[in-house]
Structure 1
Amino acid sequence: MSFGTGALAVIGGTVAVVAFLTMSTGATVAVLGYNQLSQVGITALVGFASAYLNTRIVTPCTAAVALAATIGAGATAQLGAMRISEEIDALEVMGIRSVAYLASTRLLAGMIVVVPLYNIALLFAYTATRLGTTIAYGQSTGVYDHYFNTFLIPADVLRSFLVSIVVAVVIMLVHTYFGFTARGGPAGVGEAVGRATRTSLVVGVLVILLVTLALYGQTGNFNFSG
């Protein structure tokens, strides 16, 4: 019962973190996009900036940070606490495969939970950019929506979900490894959480870079129809 309550608390906290971070990055896209594009007289293309940047790079990176700092760090702390209290050793003595029983379940949970979380991330990013452009800068909603819908490639959204799932797998692998190998009492668990978070952030960004390059190539593509 306590484990379930703790898991719900972690997921609820992750939703709040994802919502706040993606709203912030979406609003930043609106601010920078409008100001930079206004210098060349094409502020109407802020909708394009949202459809292209939020989908392909900004939201995946933001979601990776939130996942590593919340669910990933929580998994490391849980496994580390079980390791130093010899709970994992007790499972192995009973003939239960601790990696399959503890690590694989958390890996699967990370893959499952990242899908709705990423839905929330994309929605908040798109909404924040739209509201920032239309309310703060007064651009017509019709103009924004036209260019957003014109340049948004549905296949890019699906590829973006693929990137987020791959990153979630890598992040959870890193965090479960550091949790399983934690040593040195409570201080060692805290150190393991810190090392896992730093490592997963670096590796996650590299994975996003490589997967994005594999998906879009060196040139990418735009949707100029509409």
Structure 2
Amino acid sequence: MIQIVLENCHFVICDKPAGVLSTPSRMGAEDERNCLGIALQKQLGVQIFPVHRLDFEVSGLVMYAKNPEAHRKANAWFENKTVSKTYRALTTAQDFSHIPENVKNSREKFTVSEGQKFEWKSRILRGKRRAFESPEGKDSLTLAQFLGINDKGYLQWDLQPVTGRSHQLRFDLSRHGFPIVGDALYGSKQPWTGKDSIALRAFKIDFSKAPNAADFQLPAIVQIQEV
């Protein structure tokens, strides 16, 4: 069942479950995985336009436009970074054993304290399956805040991708020794709740700085429960 968080005549924002595509894959009909965008378009009976995407394994807020004008406006907001997204991630304690010895990494060990903030910069290059740090990559910036340890012993992080590089948050946590729980692709040895699920959730979109967002009937903030 599609969980619609907000809908008006311009946009629809859904809570995408993990293990579902945001938009059709490049394989088209050959890819048998469920796609939220296709299902939503059938349910609404109108053409929709993806504004942004979430990885297959990631859950949370995904936004689609319901007309070309709204699509152009939303694309401008995201390109100009006047809209921000916040993700919640759960990780295990710092450990670099998942990084092969021949891979360049500072392996800097540090102690994190509750409320501590970080600015992580790198140059990310996307390979066939995963992202890598490379001089030929694109500039990447992630704002991270450590929130403390939850009752299950996992480290909690709030993350804001200032740039929108593929796998950016997953890569940034992994390279600092904190792979996301369940994210075996980036080194996690701890399983999460489902086969196609990792402990990363897009739980907040902030439109408060987006020009004319109110004209498109959008609130300042759309927020759902964290991971």
Q: Give the number of the structure whose alpha-carbon radius of gyration is greater.
A: 1
Relative to its length, the structure with more helix (as a share) is 1
Relative to its length, the structure with more strand (as a share) is 2
